[in-house]
Chain A
Amino acid sequence: MINQIYIENEIKDHPRVQSILKKFKRKTPIYIDKYTSVFNKKNQNFRIQKKYPSLILAKKKAGYVLKTPSDFGIGNSNNFYFSHMYNCLYDCEYCFLQGMFSSADYVLFINYEDFEDGIKEKINFLKNEKVTFFSGYDCDSLAFEKISGFVSYFLPFFKKFSNVEIELRTKSTQLEPLLKMEPVSNCIVAFSLLPAEIADKTDHKAPTIKKRINKISELASMGWKIGLRFDPLIHGENWKNIYKELFADVFKKIDKKAIHSITLGPLRFPKAMFKKILGMNPRSKLLSDVLVLRGNKISYTNEIELEMQSFCIDLLNQHSPETLFFSCKGNF
């Protein structure tokens, strides 16, 4: 549900803006000079905005493609991410976006062509090298598809580059554009998963784990390459059993041959953002656990982190020994 629509004056006549507006016929947009005059101002309340988010249509001016943190990748040495959108429809308690922005409004950058040029530039520069582009870093790649048309636009573009992989990171089960097209061999549809018992308490507004697994299974059977992202790994009483059940369920329902890669990542928050996140959600069960400062991040103790990582890798190896594993330590 969109509360209000803001549009940057510069793009008010852009065909993509016009097409989005047709989907909100009852809304009267407000025209603004820059998206930053509404978004991420001092004294905004992320939690209240999350209840009533607005949509801001804007034009990104620079920084179309950025390098990922050093340990973020799925096999290739050249890793980049791009964000056509800030913020997400879902409301997950471990999400760093709530600490990064003071606004929960959705900013959709509609100049996809400029992102495309930025991506092409990187591809040309790294000719013959393997490159992975990640989308879904500052948003969910698919959750807003009905409005943004992002995947429908970008997949045909990426299809042309055989040395390039595109990862679409999502929790969405609205996969229409993917279900309607032939699988794209260099596209990895990566789903964030965690035990249902935990997701029920932390992944607000997101599809249940059962629904996510069913949709992954559907995509896998069509021939799409699947990424499984157990990130973050969340601790608690009985964590071994619930992760065991999750992995058993996943491998029972998803064709192993479709799994491109599996990533494990610890629960972590940038130190600078944690205080803000906790202040916004002081009664969060997840945030009330024992979390410690380690370097510039807040996380479980090293001992817990290592135990979870090694337990999960052992278990995943039993289920799918041939799959590629990657670990994301989450250095900020």
Chain B
Amino acid sequence: MNNGCICWVIALASEAKSLIKDFKMYLMPGDTLFPIYKNKNENEWLVITGVGQLNVASGVSYLYSLCPYSKTSFWINFGIAGAGKNVGDIGEPFLINELRHHDFKKIYYPFILPNLKLKNAMLKTYNKPQNNYKRSFLFDMEGWVFYNIVQKKITRELIAVVKIISDNSPETILSINKNFINKFIKDKIENLMTLRDCGFSLSDLETERKKEHFLFVDITEKFHFTFSQCQQLKNFLIRWDVNFPERPLFSEIKDLNDAKSILDYMESSLKNHKLKWE
């Protein structure tokens, strides 16, 4: 079973509409700072942040605090972007491989996910809408800020920015409206499926790596463990699984009465065990 989770960060409701429908997400009830959607299994979350850097920064932080799996989720900033005339056609999706900001020198190079049928391109984030279509890259008002915040919280391999070209000339910008955005995103959802699968699988890997042993809570609820004893217990539990896959621990420690006895018992068993390589 896949234990991965995806967090979508999207500026506009019209950009999110098709995803919400196709991925069967529903609006979280209650008074939330931003509209938050999630699916029934709670392994796919979506925040609609509003346009601009402040909004995306706040929206990311809000979803991060709300989603219980945020630290091991795969984070995607998805939305529309302007582009130079020669970069691509209207409706063409791009996986961003270089992120720049108009005001900051820092450049980010997001991890390139393998085997995606998405073209790569550079994205530059500005404070204001742009209409210079002579450029050789995509431009938006959120991408760099999204990455800048998320990379401080989680591993960089779990972050992606995907943009669809909405305008590449002064004429095309005039045709952007809710229905237009919704329609061409709907047409491109298929392109996001492989990215989504890949995201789930990487997030699953990270969840597995970071997950607490299933006995940890049971044992520490029953007996008092100090902080350092907890660390020792976590380490011993994993080593126990690796070294004694066919020896259920619980039955062996059921008669022990405190943290020290449990740790001593596990330590001595592990110490006396010799690894079997054959």
Alpha-carbon separation in the docked complex, A237 to B7 (Å): 46
Instruction: State which of B107, B155, B239, B271 has its C-beta within 8 Å of the C-beta of A288.
Output: B239
Tell me if A320 is interfacial: C-beta within 8 Å of chain B. Answer: no
* A44 interfacial by beta-carbon distance below 8 Å: yes
Flag if A290 contacts B271 (CB, 8 Å): yes
Q: Roughly how many angstroms separate A179 CA and B112 CA in the complex, as a whole number?
A: 37
- A16-56, CB under 8 A of B: which get 1 and which 0? 00000000000010101100011001011101110010100
A289 at interface by CB-CB < 8 Å:
yes
Q: Within 8 Å of chain B (Cβ to Cβ): is A201? A: yes
The complex places the Cα of A235 from the Cα of B241 at a distance, in Å, of 19
Chain B residues with Cβ below 8 Å from A32 are 107, 109
- Min CB gap A289→B, angstroms: 5
Decide yes or no: A282 and B238 within 8 Å by CB, A38-B109, A48-B202, A49-B157 being known contacts.
Answer: yes
Nearest B residue to A2 via CB reads: B114
In the complex the two chains form, is B206's CB within 8 Å of A242's CB?
no
Given the complex, which residues of A lie within 8 Å of B120, measured CB to CB? 28, 30
B56 to chain A, nearest CB (A): 19
Q: Contacts A288-B238, A288-B239 given: A48-B155 contact, CB under 8 Å?
A: yes
> Is the pair B156, A41 in contact by a Cβ cutoff of 8 Å?
yes
Contact (A3, B155) CB under 8 Å given A236-B274, A283-B242? no
Is B209 close to A, CB under 8 A? Answer: yes
- Judged by a CB distance under 8 angstroms, whether B253 is at the interface is no
Residues from chain A with a CB closer than 8 A to the CB of B278 are: 197, 238, 242
User: How many Å from the CB of A257 to the closest CB on chain B?
Assistant: 32
Cβ B209 vs Cβ A238 within 8 A = no
Q: Please indicate which of the listed interface residues B151, B156, B202, B275 has the most CB atoms of chain A within 10 Å of its own CB.
A: B275
Q: Is A198 an interface residue (CB 8 A)?
A: yes
Query: Is B92 interfacial (CB 8 A cutoff)?
Result: no
Return the contact of B112 from the options A41, A54, A238 (Cβ within 8 A).
A54
With known contacts A201-B277, A237-B275, A45–B242 Cβ distance under 8 A: no
Contact B114 A288 (CB under 8 A): no
A105 to B209, alpha carbons, bound, how many Å? 20
- Which chain A positions have C-beta within 8 A of B114? 3, 52
By a CB distance below 8 angstroms, the chain B residues around A238 are 276-278
How many contacts between A and B, using CB within 8 angstroms? 87
Q: How far is the CA of A49 from the CA of B111 in the complex (A)?
A: 9
Assembly CA distance A6 to B151 (angstroms): 20
Q: Which residues of B contact A288 (CB under 8 A)?
A: 238-239, 242-243, 275
Partner of B152, one of A37, A43, A237, A285: A43
Question: For B266, what are the chain A residues with a Cβ–Cβ distance below 8 Å?
Answer: none
Partner of A236, one of B113, B158, B275: B275
Q: Return chain A residues, CB-CB under 8 Å to B202.
A: 48
Asked if A195 is at the interface of the complex by the 8 Å CB criterion, the answer is: yes
Whether A4 contacts B206 in the complex (CB less than 8 A), given A28-B120, A288-B238, comes out as no
Most chain B beta carbons < 10 A, residue from A32, A234, A242, A285: A285
Give Cα distance in the complex from A28 to B275, angstroms: 46
Contact of B274 among A4, A201, A237 (CB under 8 A): A237
A160-181 contacts to B (CB < 8 Å): none
Interface centre among B209, B242, B271, B277 (most CB of A within 10 A): B277
Asked if A37 contacts B274 (CB within 8 A), the reply is no
Indicate whether B20 reaches chain A with its CB closer than 8 angstroms.
no
CB-based contact B241/A283 at 8 Å: yes
Which of A44, A280, A286 is close to B156, meaning CB atoms less than 8 Å apart? A44
In the complex, chain A residues 225-251 whose Cβ is within 8 Å of any chain B Cβ:
234-239, 242
Chain A CB within 8 A of B169 CB: no
Tell me whether B207 is interfacial, beta carbon within 8 Å.
no
Say whether, besides A30-B98, A32-B109, A45 and B277 are in contact (CB < 8 Å).
no
Q: How far is A33 from B113 in the complex, measured between Cα atoms in Å?
A: 22
Query: Nearest A residue to B234 by beta-carbon distance?
Result: A282
Given A30-B97, A237-B275, A242-B277, CB of A45 within 8 Å of CB of B156: yes
Bound CA span A44–B107, Å:
16
In contact, A37 and B242 (Cβ under 8 angstroms):
no
Report whether B112 and A282 are in contact in the complex, using a CB–CB cutoff of 8 Å: no
Binding site for A on B (CB under 8 A): 97-98, 107, 109, 111-114, 120, 151-152, 154-158, 202, 205-206, 209, 238-239, 241-243, 270-271, 274-278
Q: Which 10 A-B pairs have the closest CB atoms?
A: A236-B275, A237-B274, A288-B242, A48-B157, A288-B239, A45-B155, A197-B277, A4-B112, A236-B277, A52-B114
Q: List 29 A-B contacts (CB under 8 A).
A: A3-B112, A3-B114, A4-B112, A28-B120, A30-B109, A30-B120, A32-B109, A37-B109, A43-B152, A44-B155, A44-B156, A44-B157, A45-B155, A47-B209, A48-B155, A48-B158, A48-B202, A48-B206, A49-B111, A201-B277, A237-B275, A238-B278, A283-B238, A285-B242, A285-B243, A285-B275, A286-B275, A288-B242, A288-B275
14 additional contacts, CB 8 Å, given A3-B114, A239-B277? A3-B112, A38-B109, A43-B154, A44-B155, A45-B157, A48-B111, A52-B112, A54-B112, A235-B275, A236-B274, A238-B276, A242-B278, A286-B275, A290-B270
